[in-house]
């Protein structure tokens, strides 16, 4: 909404230079009646108005009227505009557009008539013929002279023509002005980097990185990042474990900047934060465990294309900014806001590369099944993010199976090794099926349910083979068995010992997505962490702006 300086208010003083570097200081000393004409060179309405302002200048310059043109463009473009319209009044350059911002108009041309004390007598923006005639009348009256003939019949002026948007509203300029003019825009505490210190080394010395250099989150960069969402910067999105510190949209934006995200990624990072901080995901447990688990992000829906997310070849690998920075932003949030740092709450014995970043997109277009998020209750047109507590990906190599049944058996045998072959009735696992393997399943009409059933079938082993013994003291704990398996002596019954147990406690614990390149019969499995109230369950959230 325009806040153009109106009648009775005082026009802001300013100091600007013309094309030759000569300084004009408006408002320092009372002068004559002044007409300010704001324009930009590529605006047709400005070109319509400029010759009329020049005629007014020519007619009343001798009557103590001072006309000042204020250009929103650089020297070369301003010169082109001046020469095209043969302007003789003084034109100055609003290089930083701060004067334009002070005057508050939304569109150019903008015209302000002020007396010698800078009190505004008339103002308008755009072009309205009646307003122009009123400007001529008031300008002449202020100079104590009859209105000159400015509008001529041959001009054939329209009654109305809208102006063009002021350059102060260009996104990059608006963000810069917000930084320069309103230091209170962001509420986060500011840290000043010593002028003689390298900013990357300074960030590292403050413990704000993840072992790799981070982008310094300057106020301008954070404001640019915040343009990626319509949410208020002060809105609390979640409380991040282990410290349960509030993560506002602003703090998420700061860490997204540090991770190297673009503004269009911010809604994804926000949704991932919401999902990871859900009680079912149990982020505190994922951090505190000595296991390998880390948040693994899976993105579905149309947003994959808008943000250029990699869903194809090398999907878990390097070289893709979207994937790398979204996953990294969540990890930095956990570290910098939640306090989850290695050696502190993060107690992973060995860790894994996914603790830097792990974010993939489903290659929905090459899947033989409905997309992962649709299976989880969302529409195909909805964009979602799912967070899963997973290990690093491990290979499933089968270049020989020509039937879905054989390929499903291969996958089951590989999944049987998750955590340990003698640990069954496990929680969730993520199976990432490559497009070539998906084609095999699609050709045989194999559904996800069929694949899950086949995996459970080939991994089923009698309880006797899963219990600890002298050959391998690792195995199913008695306390993890169903109550009906245990006899009065506290040991498994004879019937229970011969009962086959599948790898996963429920078929639905096998999460299936299609991703990766179109060449290569290699799929992957990402083992999950513990299940139940002490473990983690994958959480999906819709991505909204």
Per residue in 86-111, pLDDT (tens digit) is 999 999 999 889 999 999 898 999 99
* Neighbouring residues of 185: CB distance < 8 A, sequence distance ≥ 6: 178, 179, 219, 223, 233
pLDDT of 191 above 90 = no
Convert the pLDDT of each residue in 138-190 to its tens digit: 999 998 999 999 998 888 999 999 999 999 888 767 766 775 555 446 777 77
Which ranges in 111-161 belong to alpha helices (H)? 129-142
Q: Do 165 and 195 belong to one domain?
A: no
Q: Which of 314-323, 338-347, 479-488, 529-538 has the lowest mean pLDDT?
A: 529-538
Whether residue 386 is contained in a domain is answered as no
pLDDT for the residue numbered 201: 92
Q: What is the DSSP letter of 486?
A: B
Domain that holds residue 499: 392-468+491-527
Whether residue 176 is contained in a domain is answered as yes
Convert the pLDDT of each residue in 70-82 to its tens digit: 999 999 999 999 9
State CA 3 to chain mean position distance.
Answer: 30
Q: Do 31 and 108 belong to one domain?
A: yes
pLDDT of 194 above 90 = no
Whether residue 96 is contained in a domain is answered as yes
Whether residue 46 is contained in a domain is answered as yes
User: Residue 46 — pLDDT band, cuts 50, 70, 90?
Assistant: very high
* Neighbouring residues of 402: CB distance < 8 A, sequence distance ≥ 6: 440
CA distance 231 to 219: 18
User: Residue 458 — pLDDT band, cuts 50, 70, 90?
Assistant: very high
User: Residue 389 — pLDDT band, cuts 50, 70, 90?
Assistant: very high
Q: Do 162 and 182 belong to one domain?
A: no
Could you give the percent of the chain with pLDDT greater than 70?
Answer: 97
Whether residue 2 is contained in a domain is answered as no
Residue 100's alpha-carbon distances to 85, 135, 394, 518, in angstroms, are 22, 20, 59, 54
* DSSP H/E element including 38: strand 34-39
Whether residue 217 is contained in a domain is answered as yes
Name the one residue in this structure whose structure tokens are 């009123």.
134
User: Domains in the chain: how many in total?
Assistant: 3
Written as six digits, the tokens of 13 are 């003083």
For residues 120-141, give the mean pLDDT. 94
State CA 398 to chain mean position distance.
Answer: 38
Domain end position, chosen among 139, 169, 199: 169
Going by their DSSP bridges, the two strands 14-18 and 23-26 should be labelled as: antiparallel
Provide the CB-side half-sphere exposure for 363 (13 A, CA).
Answer: 23
91 strand-pairing partners: 69
CB atoms within 10 A of CB 202: 15
pLDDT for the residue numbered 183: 44
DSSP notation for 223-239: HHHHTT--S-TT-EEEE
Q: Do 400 and 312 belong to one domain?
A: no
Indicate the SS3 state at residue 257. Answer: helix
Q: Do 399 and 351 belong to one domain?
A: no
Exposure letters 472-510 (e unless 16+ CB within 10 A, then b)? eeebbeeeebeeebeeeeeebeeebeebebbbbbeeebb
Backbone angles phi, psi at 480, to 5 degrees: -90, -5
For residues 346-359, give the mean pLDDT. 95
What CATH number does the domain containing 449 carry? Answer: 3.30.2320
User: Residue 195 — pLDDT band, cuts 50, 70, 90?
Assistant: confident
pLDDT of 29 above 70 = no
Q: Do 181 and 294 belong to one domain?
A: yes
Residue 51's alpha-carbon distances to 163, 332, 393, in angstroms, are 16, 57, 69
Backbone angles phi, psi at 194, to 5 degrees: -55, 140
Q: What is the 3-state secondary structure (H, E, C) of 61-89?
A: HHHCCEEEEEECCCHHHHHHHHHHHCCCC
For residues 360-386, give the mean pLDDT. 98
What CATH number does the domain containing 141 carry? Answer: 3.40.30.10
Could you give the percent of the chain with pLDDT greater than 90?
Answer: 82
Q: Which of 24, 7, 6 is nearest to 15 (CA)?
A: 24
Whether residue 270 is contained in a domain is answered as yes
Q: Do 439 and 453 belong to one domain?
A: yes
pLDDT for the residue numbered 175: 65
For residues 523-529, give the mean pLDDT. 97
pLDDT for the residue numbered 442: 98
pLDDT for the residue numbered 154: 87
pLDDT for the residue numbered 30: 60
Q: What is the 3-state secondary structure (H, E, C) of 151-196?
A: CCHHHCCCCEECCEECHHHCHHHHHHHHHHHCHHHCCCCCCCCCCC
Q: Do 19 and 146 belong to one domain?
A: yes
User: Residue 239 — pLDDT band, cuts 50, 70, 90?
Assistant: very high
Torsion-angle region of residue 282: left (phi > 0), alpha (psi -120 to 50) or beta? left
pLDDT of 477 above 70 = yes
User: Residue 531 — pLDDT band, cuts 50, 70, 90?
Assistant: confident
Instruction: Verify cis geometry, omega within 30 degrees of 0, for the bond prior to 109.
Output: yes
What is the pTM (predicted TM-score) of this model?
0.71
Q: Do 165 and 213 belong to one domain?
A: no
CA distance 6 to 198: 48
Torsion-angle region of residue 34: left (phi > 0), alpha (psi -120 to 50) or beta? beta
* Angle at the Cα of 443 from the Cα atoms of 442 and 444, rounded to 5 degrees: 90
165 strand-pairing partners: 107
For residues 219-231, give the mean pLDDT. 89
Residue 37's alpha-carbon distances to 47, 51, 66, 131, 378, in angstroms, are 12, 11, 11, 14, 54
112 strand-pairing partners: 36, 123
Whether residue 89 is contained in a domain is answered as yes
pLDDT for the residue numbered 180: 59
Written as six digits, the tokens of 525 are 């499995």
pLDDT for the residue numbered 193: 81
Q: Mean pLDDT, the chain, as a whole number? A: 93
pLDDT of 1 above 50 = no
Q: Which of 261, 383, 267 is nearest to 325 (CA)?
A: 261
Instruction: Verify cis geometry, omega within 30 degrees of 0, for the bond prior to 242.
Output: yes
pLDDT of 259 above 50 = yes
Q: Do 197 and 345 belong to one domain?
A: yes
pLDDT for the residue numbered 238: 97
pLDDT for the residue numbered 192: 76
CA distance 248 to 85: 51
Domain end position, chosen among 344, 362, 380: 362
Q: Do 147 and 192 belong to one domain?
A: no
Q: Do 357 and 405 belong to one domain?
A: no
* DSSP H/E element including 54: helix 44-60
Domain end position, chosen among 169, 194, 225: 169
User: Residue 2 — pLDDT band, cuts 50, 70, 90?
Assistant: low
């Amino acid at each position: 909404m325009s806040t153009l300086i109106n009648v009775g208010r005082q026009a802001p003083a300013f100091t600007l230079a013309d094309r030759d570097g000569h300084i004009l200081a408006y408002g320092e000393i009372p002068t004559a009646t002044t007409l300010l004409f704001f324009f930009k060179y590529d605006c047709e309405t400005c070109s319509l108005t400029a010759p009329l302002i020049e005629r007014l200048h020519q007619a009343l310059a001798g009557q103590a009227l001072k006309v000042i043109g204020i250009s929103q463009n650089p020297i070369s473009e301003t010169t082109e505009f001046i020469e095209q319209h043969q302007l003789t009044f003084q034109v100055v350059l609003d290089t930083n557009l701060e004067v334009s911002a002070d005057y508050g108009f939304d569109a150019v041309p903008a015209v302000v008539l002020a007396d010698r004390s800078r009190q505004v007598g008339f103002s308008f923006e755009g072009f309205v013929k009646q307003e122009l005639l009123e400007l001529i009348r008031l300008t002449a009256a202020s100079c104590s002279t009859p209105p000159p003939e400015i509008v001529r019949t041959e001009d054939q002026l329209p009654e109305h023509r809208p102006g063009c948007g002021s350059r102060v509203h260009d996104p990059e300029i608006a963000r810069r002005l917000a930084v320069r003019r309103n230091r209170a825009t962001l509420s986060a505490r500011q840290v000043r980097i010593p002028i003689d210190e390298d900013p990357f080394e300074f960030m590292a010395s403050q413990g704000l990185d993840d072992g790799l250099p981070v982008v310094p989150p300057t106020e301008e960069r954070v404001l640019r990042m915040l343009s990626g969402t319509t949410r208020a910067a002060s809105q609390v999105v979640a409380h991040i474990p282990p410290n349960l510190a509030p993560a506002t949209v602003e703090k998420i934006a700061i860490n997204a900047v540090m991770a190297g995200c673009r503004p269009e990624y911010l809604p994804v990072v926000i949704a991932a934060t919401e999902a990871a901080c859900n009680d079912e995901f149990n982020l505190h447990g994922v951090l505190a465990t000595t296991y390998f688990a880390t948040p693994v992000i899976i993105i579905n829906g149309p947003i994959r294309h808008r943000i250029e997310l990699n869903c194809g070849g090398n999907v878990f690998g390097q070289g893709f900014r979207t994937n790398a920075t979204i996953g990294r932003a969540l990890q930095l949030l956990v570290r910098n806001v939640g306090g989850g740092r290695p050696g502190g709450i993060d107690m992973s014995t060995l860790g894994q590369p996914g603790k830097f970043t792990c974010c993939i997109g489903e290659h929905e277009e090459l899947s033989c099944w409905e997309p992962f998020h649709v299976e989880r209750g969302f529409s195909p047109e909805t964009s979602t993010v799912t967070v899963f507590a997973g290990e690093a990906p491990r290979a499933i190599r089968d270049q020989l199976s020509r039937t879905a049944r054989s390929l499903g058996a291969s996958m089951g045998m590989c999944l049987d090794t998750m955590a340990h072959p003698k640990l069954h009735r496990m929680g969730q696992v993520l199976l990432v099926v490559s497009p070539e393997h998906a084609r095999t399943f699609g050709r045989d009409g194999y559904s996800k349910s069929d694949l899950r059933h086949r995996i459970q079938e080939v991994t089923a082993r009698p309880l006797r083979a899963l219990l600890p013994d002298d050959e391998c003291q690792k195995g199913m704990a008695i306390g993890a068995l169903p109550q009906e398996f245990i006899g009065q002596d506290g040991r498994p019954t004879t019937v229970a010992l011969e009962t086959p147990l599948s790898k996963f406690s429920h078929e639905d614990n096998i999460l299936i997505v299609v991703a990766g390149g179109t060449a290569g019969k290699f799929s992957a499995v990402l083992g999950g962490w513990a299940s139940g109230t002490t473990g983690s369950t994958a959480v999906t959230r819709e991505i909204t702006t």
